[in-house]
Structure formats: structure tokens, C-alpha cells
Amino acid sequence: MKNTFGSSVALTIFGESHGAMIGGILDGLAAGIPVDEDFIASQMSLRKSVGEISTPRKEADDVRIVSGVFNGRTTGTPITFIIENQDTRSRDYGELAYKARPGHADFTAQMKYHGFQDFRGGGHFSGRITAGIVAAGAVAISALNAKGIKIGTHILACGGIRDRFFGNISEDIDKLTGLPFAVLDDSCKDRMTEVILAAKQDGDSVGGILETAVCGFPAGVGEPWFDTLEGVLSHALFSIPAVKGVEFGEGFGVAELRGSQNNDSFRNEDGRAVTATNNCGGILGGISDGMPIVFRCAVKPTPSIYKEQQTIDMNTGEDTTLQIQGRHDPAIVHRARVVADSVTALVLCDQLALRYGTDWLAPNNE
């Protein structure tokens, strides 16, 4: 099992949903980067369950930094984050030791780990593990913000209700900062909430689409072919539980365009090369072109639903039925938004360190 991502700036995650604790180890960040624990806490709050549209499981998600930070700044050594699990209810998962939940990793985990995996709450496959990613991502986001690079994600769609696309990206990112339910059109919040609650009432769930934008990122970062910037980002984004599709810029829409429509024409603006459109999503030939990086992630409906489903007994191989109990989210797209921001920040820090050197992210070093 490989639980580390990144080459120069790398994150290792650990823990299980119902284990004693979860967390991460962030290695490779330059020394001297400010670590704002209040900002970490605010980012963690965006991942927490929210009222009736989320799981009733309530975790404090207090982040304890046990290494790598001294006097409020990174030391250049590995930063270790620990988050205790406090609101576990493992008895809800007794039957699931041998029944494979549809849409979950129970069956594939059984095939790989031969019954030794921790099945409670999904164990290491649980979305709970993303808390460590968000804690590490908060440090990465702060480091990028200090360099004028901003990241924002909104819920473009949820249960068939659509938000507007990004417009003025810098202003839109500022609007999204700190929003507990991240939409650009304020009227979408209530309509999306109604759809989520309707699915919950029916014992079901809904999915959605997240749209992420990055502005201020320099041109010339990334590699051609096997380590393209969108390839590395996609690799990391697909590690977020429930993400089943990623597209950049116009994405699959380019298949319906002619080259004259799809090509982003260049022009000089105040001595800087810009493009009239951004169908490529800020990446050409696997390398950033200096325009905003824009991509979308498809998030599947939460697989834990309360309807009776067909499955198999993994001990006997026989057909059986399953009706999931316990505490589950009718939608996770609103909670996954901050995870997308965090994963993006970690990848971009890694890519910048590979391109310019680790100390590029240090304060006062351009």
C-alpha cells in the first residue's frame, strides 16, 4: 500500500476511520513558511459535517502539530499532523465484515488484503482520511497565497441544480473563501440543499461537480508527456474518495469544436502574453501557460444509502441482501470542496519546488 504523493513536497497520510487517530506527514517544504493554526482550523471546519445535509457523526477535528513547526514557522523538517477520532460507533459495521457494500471498496479491499483490512467505517478507504490532507493543504495554501497564487473551488452542480461558471476568477475566489457551502450564485444554496434533503428523505444520496480555479500561477511549470501538470493534478485528484472524472478547461466539450473555435489566441497585454479564451484550462503541452488553471471533478453520489441492495457474502460467495445502518452523508460534494483545494495546493507546491527549487516557496524569495 502506497500512501505518499509528491516528489519534492510530499504528503504521507495514515489512519483509519474508526482507529485511534488519523493524520499526515508533510515533507519537503522550505523553512520559514508561516503556519497559521487558526487558518488550519478554519479549513478543517469546511470539511466538517453540516446539519441535516451531512452525516450526524461529529468530530472536533482538532489538529495537533507534533513536529516540523517551531515558533509558528516551518523548520524545513517533516511536519506531522495528528487528528484524534472521537465520535466512532463501530457496532454499526459488524455485519459489513463479510457483506460487500455496493459502491464501496469492501470487495476490492478483501481481494487485496485478504480479510486483514479494517472494515469499520471503510477503514483506510474512508473519506475521513481526507482530514489529514486538509490540514496539510492549509499550510500549502498559505505558502501559495504569500506568492500571489490563489485557489478556489465551488459546487458547480449538485443533484441536477447548477451554479454559474467562474467569471472574474480572482474576485470569485475571494467570494468563495471561507464559505461553508461554496456556490457563486447565492440562490443555488437553498435549491441544492432541498435536493440533498429530498434524497436523504428517500434513503438515497446525490452527487455533483466541483469546479476549481487557480490564478496567479506562473507560466512554464510542468513537464511534457508522462508528468504533465494536468496529469499530476489528475493523479492526485482521483485519490479523493468519490471523484470519478476530471476535465480541464473546456474538457470533453472540445470534441464538439473546430480548431478555430478551440484554439486560444495569444495577445500582448501590458507586456505579458495572455490568451483571449482559456479553453485549454491554463495548460498547454503539459505546462502552465500563465492563464488561470481551471478544472472540474465529478463526484459520485455517496455510496452509503439506506435502501436495501443486492450484494454477496464474501465468506461464502453466495448472493444476499444488505441494508446499511449507521450515520452517513446524503451528499459529500459540499464537504469535498475544501479537499479539492487542498490537494491542488499540495500538487502546485510540489510542482513549483521541482521547477524552481524548494526555497522558492520560502518567504521573500522570488
Amino acid letter, residue 271? G
Q: Between 1 and 229, name the one with better pLDDT.
A: 229
Which pLDDT tens digit goes with each residue over 246-279?
999 999 999 999 999 999 999 999 999 999 999 9
pLDDT for 36: 97
Closest CA relative to residue 152, chosen from 230, 234, 212 = 212
Interatomic CA distance for residues 189 and 159, integer angstroms: 12
pTM exceeding the 0.85 threshold for the entire prediction: yes
User: Number of helices (H) and strands (E), helices first, in the chain?
Assistant: 8, 18
Interatomic CA distance for residues 215 and 14, integer angstroms: 31
pLDDT for 94: 63
- Residue 89, pLDDT > 70, answer no
Interatomic CA distance for residues 186 and 184, integer angstroms: 6
| For residues 340-346, average pLDDT | 98
Interatomic CA distance for residues 111 and 95, integer angstroms: 18
Average pLDDT over the chain, rounded to whole?
92
Interatomic CA distance for residues 291 and 217, integer angstroms: 8
Indicate the SS3 state at residue 157: strand
Which of 68-72, 239-243, 361-365 tops mean pLDDT? 68-72
Closest CA relative to residue 72, chosen from 32, 42, 41 = 32
pLDDT for 93: 58
pLDDT for 207: 96
Question: Residue holding cell 519537503?
Answer: 28
Q: What are phi and psi of 160, to 5 degrees?
A: 90, -10
| For residues 21-46, average pLDDT | 96
Count of Cβ atoms closer than 10 Å to residue 46 Cβ: 22
| For residues 152-165, average pLDDT | 97
Ordered by where they begin, the domains of the chain are 8-361 (3.60.150.10)
Least confident of 14-23, 146-155, 230-239, 251-260: 14-23
Interatomic CA distance for residues 156 and 240, integer angstroms: 17
| For residues 297-322, average pLDDT | 92
Under 8 Å between Cβ of 343 and 240: yes
Indicate the SS3 state at residue 49: coil
